[in-house]
Amino acid sequence: MVKDIKTRIREKTKLSDTAISIVFDMDSEITPGQFITVGCGAERILRRPLSVCDAVNGRVRVVFEARGEGTAWLASREPGEILNVLGPLGNGFRLQSDGLPALFIGGGIGAPPVLFSAKRFVDGGDAVIGFKSKKFVILEREFREAGKTVSVCTDDGSYGVKGFVTSEAERLLKKKRYGRVISCGPTLMLREIAKLAASYKVPCQVSLEERMGCGVGACLVCACKIKGKDGDEYRRVCKDGPVFDAGEVLF
Amino acid sequence: MVKDIKTRIREKTKLSDTAISIVFDMDSEITPGQFITVGCGAERILRRPLSVCDAVNGRVRVVFEARGEGTAWLASREPGEILNVLGPLGNGFRLQSDGLPALFIGGGIGAPPVLFSAKRFVDGGDAVIGFKSKKFVILEREFREAGKTVSVCTDDGSYGVKGFVTSEAERLLKKKRYGRVISCGPTLMLREIAKLAASYKVPCQVSLEERMGCGVGACLVCACKIKGKDGDEYRRVCKDGPVFDAGEVLF
Amino acid sequence: MKPSISVDFCGISFKNPVITASGTFGFGREYAEFYDLSELGGICVKGLTPQKRPGNPPPRIAETPMGILNSVGLQNPGVDAFLSGELPYIKQFDTRVIANISGNTIPEYCEMAEKISDSEADIIEMNISCPNVKAGGMAFGTDAGMVKDVVSSARKFSKKPLVVKLSPNVTDICEIARAAEDAGADALSLINTILGMRIDINTRRPVLHRNVGGLSGPAVLPVAVRMLYQVKKAVKIPLIGMGGIRTGSDAVEMMLAGASLVAVGTACFSEPMTPLLVRDGIREYLEKHDISDVNELCGAVAEYKD
Amino acid sequence: MKPSISVDFCGISFKNPVITASGTFGFGREYAEFYDLSELGGICVKGLTPQKRPGNPPPRIAETPMGILNSVGLQNPGVDAFLSGELPYIKQFDTRVIANISGNTIPEYCEMAEKISDSEADIIEMNISCPNVKAGGMAFGTDAGMVKDVVSSARKFSKKPLVVKLSPNVTDICEIARAAEDAGADALSLINTILGMRIDINTRRPVLHRNVGGLSGPAVLPVAVRMLYQVKKAVKIPLIGMGGIRTGSDAVEMMLAGASLVAVGTACFSEPMTPLLVRDGIREYLEKHDISDVNELCGAVAEYKD
Ligand SMILES: Cc1cc2nc3c(=O)[nH]c(=O)nc-3n(C[C@H](O)[C@H](O)[C@H](O)COP(=O)(O)OP(=O)(O)OC[C@H]3O[C@@H](n4cnc5c(N)ncnc54)[C@H](O)[C@@H]3O)c2cc1C
Ligand SMILES: Cc1cc2nc3c(=O)[nH]c(=O)nc-3n(C[C@H](O)[C@H](O)[C@H](O)COP(=O)(O)OP(=O)(O)OC[C@H]3O[C@@H](n4cnc5c(N)ncnc54)[C@H](O)[C@@H]3O)c2cc1C
Ligand SMILES: Cc1cc2nc3c(=O)[nH]c(=O)nc-3n(C[C@H](O)[C@H](O)[C@H](O)COP(=O)(O)O)c2cc1C
Ligand SMILES: Cc1cc2nc3c(=O)[nH]c(=O)nc-3n(C[C@H](O)[C@H](O)[C@H](O)COP(=O)(O)O)c2cc1C
Ligand code: FES
Ligand code: FES
């Protein structure tokens, strides 16, 4: 059941120079990869979509970066303040057990839903998370706590492995047989991961981003191009996604 | 000097069911009758004009009613929060001593600037303040503390004298010779007071209200009709007023 | 006594004056997860075209101060798929259905009007004002001569009440309104979106892939109210008012200006429950002001005469 | 290196691209209490008419979502009183002066253009788009033929650069822009206000005494950006962009769409310092993006072509 609630911020933590973690009350069944939309001030019409990073004991956590005005507004909220939250929305990652480990790949602020997936996934696996540089690294410890090995990559090598997540992912794909790739991050990264997974014949699920209006599937603004049975067609990131099979996405 | 400041709310008091008193830091020379304009939320373009009710020790007090959306927003602010304040603006009441007592008349939420005038005026006098009913009565004690006798009128007689301020004012005008009338309140009330003062030949100053844009005299939206030397003309409530000689106002 | 909020519109009874705006509510399925669609006065569906349309490439939306721009470009399954796949779904609910149609040519409008006339939809709304498609669309709605042609042709094929949806992107909305009335429109709806644009100053690219798009949401409310007010005085047929309605007060304002029904669009994006909140707000206003019938509001603005 | 923010506009040098919008800044006196007017690129004064005008009865302003409606109705002391009483005051400051004129007839425009040509004002802006007066005003600006007539006539009497201010209340802004250009306009400014209305639902009265008024402020920004973008492609003469600018980013957006200069109006009501903040914001943007000259922004939007 999608909820449309006003809820109180319970915790707020700065994870890095740019990433903020907020926890609020929301008692819902949530699948990793699903998202919520949050109102960002009376002066803004559109809610901002944020992936759920964790959901336990009636509390939901999101991790986000202040990019533009709306998320800057959100970043300046404090515990005790009220948020308008709608969710959970969309389809999450398919995480049913098949006995094979999974490869979790998160780029930048795409890491949070991947972490949530890693936590819920039962067949073990490895995680690769990538960031611009050391000061942007987040959630490393939590991936480890989720029982996954973690490789951290930074573009400039200031922490962990130098380079993009793709090289590290390829190294792992060469070594081990994975049942699936679970991935979220910048579109360019997802495109490369999709190619990589295809070349290693591992099913790959990606969580896409697109600007949204309603967030519930009614307005058709959040279009992404998908290979359909009867030719290419636009599908809704908010309702048909945000998780898609990488193979059907026309990046 | 007009100031354009962000300042912190220091005190907030409920004076009645509908009237709220807010005190904030602002160190300015302010004449009673002058006003400030205050920003009422990022989602509203226009600042709201409020008369100053008191200014001492670097603190300014305003008393207002939540009438529409902007003042409702203001009414929901709490001490510690920041306000955008511009002021002092406009011309206040002329309160120079002439040895004669003054008659202070305030209607409803028009009472605050009249109180400020009464506090600053040195030649003594009497005050008449009127409200719809008992539960709207405000500032009575403070008028008394300002050294003025006070008659409180209520439309329904639920407190003080039953009836409008005009009858009570007329009773006083008959009894005593006043040097001036200082008045603020609903336009209809001011019109009656103006007539009354004229018939007793007492100079009368009124503080007018009009919807404002800039609040500083530049946009000409706050027009009120005034008898000019060369015929009637529109003058600016914000810059040429809000205090006008009642005799020149075309109500 | 509870005020009556039902409205007779072109001979069709609406249980309340609040409908959804075309394109913001899909075919109702998604919002049915939030409330019973039977609570609505009516549902105006996503704009239909003779054939399935893919719509424009993304991004299709941009935020603006108290508004949004969209350039969906009439993505829809086509009128036949609507009639077979979507209409029966909506008809499960006790609410009115308005089928919104957009053509590139006059025969396209006629063809769709004819098909819908044989369906269970209650009303046909002709969108002659979509700013987000290349051919047809807004071009029809900005020229009185073309309005006359397309409306009088479609009129012949419509057995249902025919509502013509006007574009605000015109010099003289009254001229267009009269042309539609003269051509046989049973009612008018306004406003469609106002053409706008946003540019991302970091990439220097327009935010929308189609460069420009249609402005809607609270920002346009005063323009919509003005046009309703002007058109109400120019024509005799009833009006559906839309553009920026978020609250019961906004809806009452639109009705005082001249609307018989009001549509809620963009506001649903901020708050899915908006149509019901608007309906409740209208009722509260009537109660507070002791008005027994919502129809009394229609065009009841007391304009200044001097 | 500090970026250059000076602009040559019709042969007149502006120290920065930020000017004030006519009617929102009086004749500068009031805002001179807040900052040195020499900091401004230029000042566009309140609309002038041949004779003193009293303006419309109040209320003259209404608030709307992220905007305002005004119906001041060109209250002003008349062009002669401006030239003798106000212009010398502004000329104390080192900034450009744009004299905004509004006529009811072609001869009125000509007469004012001639008078101002002999003054120290730098530029003449013809307002053919005021929605708040009965005769003349917007009527001139919504018909290409009339635009041609009034501009070509006024052109003959102007010894200063002549800017024509366009109304957004038209079907095809490019047609009007081209008419003005063909008639000899040296530049165009846009947008004036969009016609709107608000109704007080408690009194059932329009909020404005003139019933309708002109919409300005952030709400109109996307409409202004779109029109700048369209007009930039339609004409060769330079443009002054205005409508909803509040920040340096808004101004940059307007310049990318096609503006050489930008004007700030309504935003001054929220914050008197806005014009200077906008100027500073433009400079910061240039620094951040390593752009050495503000003129590089003009029309530099990278539109989508497919
Ligand atoms: C399904 C989904 C899940 C997401 N999860 C996260 C997350 O967990 N953490 C996180 O930091 N970010 C996440 N994002 C991105 C986040 O939604 C944007 O960063 C945010 O909307 C930007 O808003 P703004 O007000 O800061 O930017 P502005 O540029 O001011 O926003 C203007 C408009 O564009 C939209 N917009 C801008 N950038 C994006 C974007 N990248 N994706 C979608 N809409 C955008 C905004 O929502 C808004 O409607 C997610 C996006 C989607 C679609
Ligand atoms: C010089 C002056 C001094 C004032 N002093 C006080 C005071 O001390 N205490 C107090 O309670 N009120 C005072 N008022 C009235 C106060 O400004 C309005 O009640 C307030 O602006 C209403 O805003 P709103 O958002 O609640 O109403 P809305 O109706 O939402 O406001 C919409 C717009 O109309 C304007 N507006 C609405 N009513 C009035 C009004 N009566 N006068 C001027 N503008 C109005 C608002 O400022 C806003 O721009 C004063 C007005 C003026 C002109
Ligand atoms: C995303 C979106 C899609 C729309 N699609 C259509 C459409 O298909 N047909 C149509 O006639 N109007 C369409 N409109 C216009 C709306 O029906 C409505 O006229 C307009 O948005 C103003 O109302 P609002 O401000 O309440 O949204 C669309 C509007 C939006 C925001
Ligand atoms: C109160 C007010 C008065 C105005 N008076 C004039 C005027 O006299 N002449 C004119 O050409 N434009 C006038 N305008 C229009 C502005 O110059 C400007 O074009 C419009 O407000 C859009 O800019 P903004 O959104 O920054 O205010 C006026 C606008 C306002 C708000
Ligand atoms: S955002 Fe409305 S359909 Fe996806
Ligand atoms: S409010 Fe602008 S002149 Fe008074």
The domain locations on chain C are 7-297
Q: Is the CB of A236 under 6 A from ligand 5?
A: yes
Asked if B104 contacts B30 with a C-beta cutoff of 8 angstroms, the reply is: no
Amino acid D139: pLDDT: 74
Mean pLDDT calculated for residue range D84-95: 97
pLDDT over 70 (residue B13): yes
Contacts of C26 (CB under 8 A, 6+ apart): A217, A218, A219, A220, C45, C46
Measured between alpha carbons, how far is residue B111 from residues A56, B127, B154, B221 in Å? 55, 10, 13, 25
**What CA–CA distance (Å, rounded) separates A186 from A180?**
19
Q: Which amino acid is at C149?
A: D
- Return the best residue to mutate from C266, C269, C270 for the ligand 3 pocket (most ligand atoms within 8 A of CB): C266
Q: Is the Cβ of D223 closer than 8 Å to some Cβ of chain C?
A: yes
Amino acid C138: pLDDT: 63
Identify the residue among D24, D29, D30 best suited for mutation to test binding to B, counting B beta carbons within 10 A and taking the highest.
Answer: D30
Identify the residue among B5, B6, B40, B45 best suited for mutation to test binding to D, counting D beta carbons within 10 A and taking the highest.
Answer: B45
Contacts of B215 in chain D (CB under 8 A): 269
Kindly determine whether residue A218 and residue C266, on different chains, have CB atoms separated by under 8 Å. Answer: no
Burial A36-49 (b: 16+ CB within 10 A, else e): bbbbbbebbbbbbb
Q: Which amino acid is at A19?
A: A
Task: Return the half-sphere exposure (C-beta side, CA atoms, 13 A cut-off) of residue B145.
Answer: 6
Amino acid C242: pLDDT: 98
Asked if B88 contacts B37 with a C-beta cutoff of 8 angstroms, the reply is: no
Amino acid D167: pLDDT: 94
Q: What tokens does D159 get?
A: 């010894």
Asked if D98 contacts D64 with a C-beta cutoff of 8 angstroms, the reply is: no
Contacts of C3 (CB under 8 A, 6+ apart): C283, C286, C287, C291, C292, C293, C294
Asked if A203 contacts A197 with a C-beta cutoff of 8 angstroms, the reply is: yes
> Model confidence at D291, in pLDDT bands (50, 70, 90)?
very high
Burial class (CB in 10 A: 0-12, 13-18, 19+), A56: exposed
Contacts of D304 in chain C (CB under 8 A): 205-206, 209-211
How close does chain A come to C63, measured CA to CA in Å? 7
Decide if C44 is catalytic.
Answer: no
Q: Is the CB of A186 under 6 A from ligand 5?
A: no
Kindly determine whether residue A39 and residue C268, on different chains, have CB atoms separated by under 8 Å. Answer: no
Taking only the tens place, the pLDDT of each residue in D158-190 is 999 999 999 999 999 999 999 999 999 999 999
**What CA–CA distance (Å, rounded) separates A65 from A14?**
10
Bridge partners, A131 (sequence order): A154
C123-127 and C96-101 beta bridge pairing = parallel
Q: Which amino acid is at A134?
A: K
Mean pLDDT calculated for residue range C125-144: 76
Taking only the tens place, the pLDDT of each residue in B201-224 is 999 999 999 999 999 999 999 999
Amino acid A165: pLDDT: 94
Mean pLDDT calculated for residue range B92-105: 94
Asked if C24 contacts A218 with a C-beta cutoff of 8 angstroms, the reply is: yes
> Model confidence at C96, in pLDDT bands (50, 70, 90)?
very high
C: neighbours with 3+ CB pairs under 8 Å? A, D
D136: left (phi over 0), alpha (psi -120 to 50) or beta: left
pLDDT over 90 (residue D140): no
User: Minimum mean pLDDT among B178-187, C82-91, C180-189, D131-140: which range?
Assistant: D131-140
Name the closest residue on chain C to residue A221, using Cα atoms. Answer: C60
Amino acid A215: pLDDT: 98
Amino acid D136: pLDDT: 55
Kindly determine whether residue C223 and residue D244, on different chains, have CB atoms separated by under 8 Å. Answer: no
Average pLDDT, chain B: 95
Q: What tokens does C69 get?
A: 């721009």
Please give the ipTM for the structure prediction. Answer: 0.97
Q: Which amino acid is at D299?
A: G
Q: Is the CB of C70 under 6 A from ligand 3?
A: yes
Q: Among candidates C193, C155, C295, C305, which has minimal Cα distance to C239?
A: C295
Contacts of C220 in chain D (CB under 8 A): 219
pLDDT over 90 (residue D120): yes
**What CA–CA distance (Å, rounded) separates D26 from D46?**
5
Cα distance from N-terminal residue to C-terminal residue, chain B: 31
Helix (H, G, I), strand (E, B) or coil at A71: helix
Q: Among candidates A221, A213, D67, which has minimal Cα distance to C270?
A: A213
Name the closest residue on chain A to residue B42, using Cα atoms. Answer: A43
Amino acid A146: pLDDT: 86
Amino acid D194: pLDDT: 97
The residue annotated as part of the active site, out of C130, C174, C268, C298, is: C130
Measured between alpha carbons, how far is residue C139 from residues B226, C46, C70, C111 in Å? 50, 20, 18, 19
Q: Compute φ and ψ for D199, nearest 5 degrees.
A: -120, 135
Q: What tokens does D295 get?
A: 């003129």
> Model confidence at C133, in pLDDT bands (50, 70, 90)?
low
**What CA–CA distance (Å, rounded) separates D269 from B218?**
9
Tell me how far the alpha carbon of residue A109 lies from the centroid of ligand 5, in angstroms: 22
Continuous segment of H or E residues that includes residue A175: helix A165-175
Q: What tokens does C259 get?
A: 């609307």
pLDDT over 60 (residue D135): no
Amino acid D171: pLDDT: 94
Query: Which of the residues in chain A have pLDDT under 50?
Result: none
Taking only the tens place, the pLDDT of each residue in C211-256 is 999 999 999 999 999 999 999 999 999 999 999 999 999 999 999 9
Burial class (CB in 10 A: 0-12, 13-18, 19+), C306: exposed
The residue annotated as part of the active site, out of D110, D130, D268, D298, is: D130
DSSP codes, chain C: -PPB--EEETTEEESSSEEEPTTSSTTSTTGGGTS-GGGSSEEEPPPB-SS-B--PPSP-EEEETTEEEE-----B--HHHIIIIIHHHHTTSSSEEEEEE--SSHHHHHHHHHHHHTSS-SEEEEE---TT-SSSTHHHHT-HHHHHHHHHHHHHH-SS-EEEEPPS-SS-HHHHHHHHHHTT-SEEEE--PEEEE-EETTTTEESSTTSEEEEESGGGHHHHHHHHHHHHHH-SS-EEEESS--SHHHHHHHHHHT-SEEEE-THHHH-TTHHHHHHHHHHHHHHHTT-SBGGGGTT-------
Q: What is the CATH architecture of D7-297?
A: Alpha-Beta Barrel (3.20)
Amino acid C86: pLDDT: 97
Mean pLDDT calculated for residue range D121-136: 80
Taking only the tens place, the pLDDT of each residue in D3-60 is 999 999 999 999 999 999 999 999 999 999 999 999 999 999 999 999 999 999 999 9
**What CA–CA distance (Å, rounded) separates C100 from C127?**
6
Asked if B251 contacts B191 with a C-beta cutoff of 8 angstroms, the reply is: yes
Average pLDDT, chain C: 95
Residue with tokens 């039977």: C38
